[in-house]
Structure 1
Amino acid sequence: MTDFAGVDPHQVRLLADRLRDLADALQREAPNIRKNFDEWNGTINQSVLFQQVTQVRTDAGDMAKRADLALQLLNSPRFSDPNDPHKDWVNVPWDVTQINTSQEGLQEAVLLKKAMDNPKEPWARDVIMNTAQSLADHKDDPAYMQAFMANGGMDQAARAARILHGQDGTHDGVVLNKESEAALAQFGQGVQAATTMNAQGRITMPPDWEKKLTQPADGDMWSVGMLFEYGPPGDQWDAHVLSDVGGAMLDWRQTQEMRPDYSAPEFPYSAGGYVGDRKAWYTTLGLKVDYRDGGGFHPNEMQGIDANDPSIILMQRVSENADASRLLLTGPKGADHAAALVSDKWHTPGNDFDDAKFPAAVIRAATLDRQGHPNESAEAAANLINAGAAEYQKENKKSKNDLAQYPVNKDITQALSTVFQAYVPDFAY
């Protein structure tokens, strides 16, 4: 196209979304269409339909990139000659290969920081949402990712959840709305794409970039966890990155009160309920439980605490990546991480939440590929067996109240039993 056309950037985004929906619908329904035509002995050339699926998908991606640039230009400061008759014009090329995505990534990182530094400004949320979408649209673009991350993009992604929560508030134990969850999925996708490109040598991340995920500002591991909660599954992440973040999360967990204490009802003396440290990690999310303030069982808040536990989230992602699981439980900190995994604290007192499901899955993933990774699996198993023995000794010294709060964990016990049966005959020689 060579003609000029005036457009509303938000309408361009809407068009891109509609094209993507059309591509999804065509891809989903094309097999049924082919099946029905075959049954009806139709004579239409169906190859055109499948070509259109590919073409519409390409058109949707191109329109999304035009929308990304248009929205970025809309929100960016502009400097022009006041005497220029076209001073209010901006150019979004129809040919997306002409877009300087490196410059676009730089500008969007700058705009994102400004929005997150001023989250109460009326324009801030739109900028955050637009940038999240652009990250997802450019997940395969090394030039964009290089520029975005080199200009503080990781810093902003690592605190996105906290900013969005501040805008959303807490409602009946829910700390993020659906729009924010969708944006965090896009931020998570962007972080996964950039870190994987870095591992592949396709881009170079700035110095100390990983510390934004392992030692985030203000110790905000919850925000880091949300990138993994809503981002891609564990098998799509670089194993070293996933292991490093998972290890940092276990280290953080060991220093926290992860759950409030629980008192069972003792009628007529006490109605029972939960009481926790008023400075615990979950209180910063508006999840405050204290039977001394009334409403002792706080079911919505307790569900919210469990759902937002970033250590469980990271263990889910690590368990989906066997290489990351082995890395987590071997090397200099393997024994420490094993001790954290076999702890009886993967439990919510007074509730039946399945907190230990994913820690137990990490134990299995790290140890049971004996044929493909014999040395790493054996080292992980040795660390876990030693940690399990130490935990057993602590169990014998527990008070009655401690046992009631944190009983022997069935999931962890079963996982350790599997490891023990697989490896103890080897260790006996």
Structure 2
Amino acid sequence: MSIDEGVRRLPTQEITTHTDSREILANAAADTERYGLDDYFIVDVDSHHVELDSWPEILQYLDNPVLRDTANQMMRNWPNAGRLALHNHSPGLTMQDVSGRIPHQAALAEETPGSEGGAHRDVTLVRRAMEAMSIDLQVVFPQPMLETGLHPQPQVATALLQAYNRWFTAEVLPREPRIKTMLGLPFEDPEACLATVEEFADHPGVIGFLVTSQRHAGVHRNAYMPLYRMLEERGLPIGFHAGPNQADSMTSTMNRFLSAHSMSFVTCNMTHMTNWVINGIPERFPGLKTIWIESGLAWVPFMMQRLDHEYFMRQSDAPLLTKPPSHYIREMYYTSQPMEWTDDALLESTLCAIDAQNSLMYSSDWPHWDFDVPGKIAAIPFLDDHAKRNILGETARKVFGL
């Protein structure tokens, strides 16, 4: 793939919220030639679009006429609710653009004239990013809806996720076969989770299902076992996508965004993984492929050592396990973003601990401020070409049956 003619490389100070994605990503496009990325099958397992840009459309997919009317009244009577009605997103605490210094995080407000062949605007934006980063298939998730597990009204959270899933599968996925998704599960309601899988599992763009993992539900509850069985029988992976939260019991003591961002993405997945492993979910559903998304990698060797240490002293607390927790953890899958690469030796030991050449899948997290391009994987000096090919796309091909 090559960047469009006329797309320039821009000095940082020229980038605004209206800058074309391909111009922002021009250096990523240069990696294609530098690393020969056109010869790789590249799957981006975690990227995002801003669903609130299409919120009025999405709300019309609400099944409940009372909720739909409530949302319409909010949008009509409260000017600031046009992109937030019924949502629990807190825009006043959105600090990811670093006080405006990383403008593409705040908005992708670039021109999409005629939305390029009549496609939905989101399709155009995704295509531009894929082209610039030499990506063959891109798994796209929402952004603010990652907070939906913390919604104060669980029934509203369920309704919003159902509406979003119907909108995305009707308006976005059919217009570009290279866009895939793992649809969010309304995890507040186990029965609604089953209905969601039944409704969407056969959609060609749906390659798995997702738990937005900033939530307080115990994933080991018996009520979820039929869901895990259904996904296992259908061969569909389950993913746990981490998210930020500066208002939880731990992060509320932190006075900097950096602090909360460092910890909150990790601790939600650490909690769920602990319940997942110690309660024997991998033993009960050995064919269920499990993916831990957007929580980095540095925490995983810690979890292996910590849980093994505790397990060897208190095996009676985990009667379903037939092997140490680290063995189950090594058999799961992980996405690469953000890959904590500050020390070559530490990164190498982390990738070795998780058997990265068979468990790690590339993800960009585009358009977030800390996104990683495929060249970051290609540049790792201690990985051979086979491992790089697996991480960039071949493991995803296997996991998702692409």
User: Is TM > 0.5 for Structure 1 vs Structure 2?
Assistant: no
TM range (shorter): 0.3 to 0.5
In the superposition, the TM-score normalised over structure 1's length comes to 0.33
Bigger Rg, which one: 1
In the superposition, the TM-score normalised over structure 2's length comes to 0.34
Report the structure, 1 or 2, having the larger strand content: 2
Report the structure, 1 or 2, having the larger helix content: 1
Higher relative contact order, structure no. (Cα contacts within 8 Å, ≥ 6 residues apart): 2
